[in-house]
Amino acid sequence: MANITRNGLLIILSSPSGAGKTTLSRRLLEADPNVAFSISATTRPPRPGEEEGVHYYFKEPQEFARMAAEGEMLEHAEVFGHHYGSPRLPVEAAVNEGRDILFDVDWQGGQQIKNSALGNQSVSIFILPPSIAALAARLKARGQDTAEVIGFRMKKSRDEISHWDSYDYVLVNEDLATCESELKAIIRAERLRREHSKAALNTFVQGLNAEFERGLA
């Protein structure tokens, strides 16, 4: 049977706060054991229920600055007044082992990953809310931020949305199940892209040519 190995894919997911990235990521990770989550480092304090090393690595600003200065992050940016970054080593390990890695990052992070040495192994997906009213309602319903924080995130969402045009794919998260299946379809197709398994395909086609030469056609 054909065994065409491929490099791992960097899956970049961005959206304005409240559009559903976290929910979609969780569903994808539960359904697909070949996808790992890139656990970001952040200076933001934990929300209720968030665990160290599961949702984020919570860092003091000084430690975060050291990690960034010493090149330990694949990308990093300031979002909502806090610093966020993706540790580099787990990403390189996953890609080399042919495992996909999912990033929940803002547009700045998405752009830095696209411009990095691993950019040609990445696919970026932007999630839009069905309406701004729905976005506000979801942030309220999540019940994890104060009215002031929600107001601030809503103001910033216009800026985040303005970057939709630099993503490979754009999905509208109206019905969650539909959006989840669209996301999975994108990942299935991207895994099959020629450039993501070029070395293995070269070897495979050489094998087909060798069969021709042996006169098996």
List contacts with ligand GDP (CB under 6 A).
Answer: 14, 17, 22, 40, 44, 75, 77, 79-80, 84-86, 104-106, 108-109
Neighbours of 36 (CB within 10 A): 18
- Residue 77 or 135: the one with the smaller Cβ distance to ligand GDP is 77
Q: Which does 109 bind (CB under 5 to 8 A by kind): ligand ADP, ligand GDP, none?
A: ligand GDP
Binding site for ligand ADP (CB under 6 A): 15, 17-23, 138, 141-142, 173, 175-176
Pick from 129, 134, 122, 115: nearest CA to 161: 129
**137 annotated as a binding-site residue:** no
Q: Which does 117 bind (CB under 5 to 8 A by kind): ligand GDP, ligand ADP, none?
A: none
- Residue 46 or 207: the one with the smaller Cβ distance to ligand ADP is 46
**122 annotated as a binding-site residue:** no
**114 annotated as a binding-site residue:** no
CA distance 26 to 31: 9
Q: Which does 173 bind (CB under 5 to 8 A by kind): ligand ADP, ligand GDP, none?
A: ligand ADP
**141 annotated as a binding-site residue:** no
Q: Which does 106 bind (CB under 5 to 8 A by kind): ligand ADP, ligand GDP, none?
A: ligand GDP
CA distance 111 to 75: 9
Strands 40-42 and 82-87: antiparallel
**15 annotated as a binding-site residue:** yes
Pick from 52, 15, 2, 1: nearest CA to 183: 15
CA distance 155 to 124: 23
Pick from 103, 80, 81: nearest CA to 154: 80
Question: Residues marked as binding for ATP?
Answer: 15-22
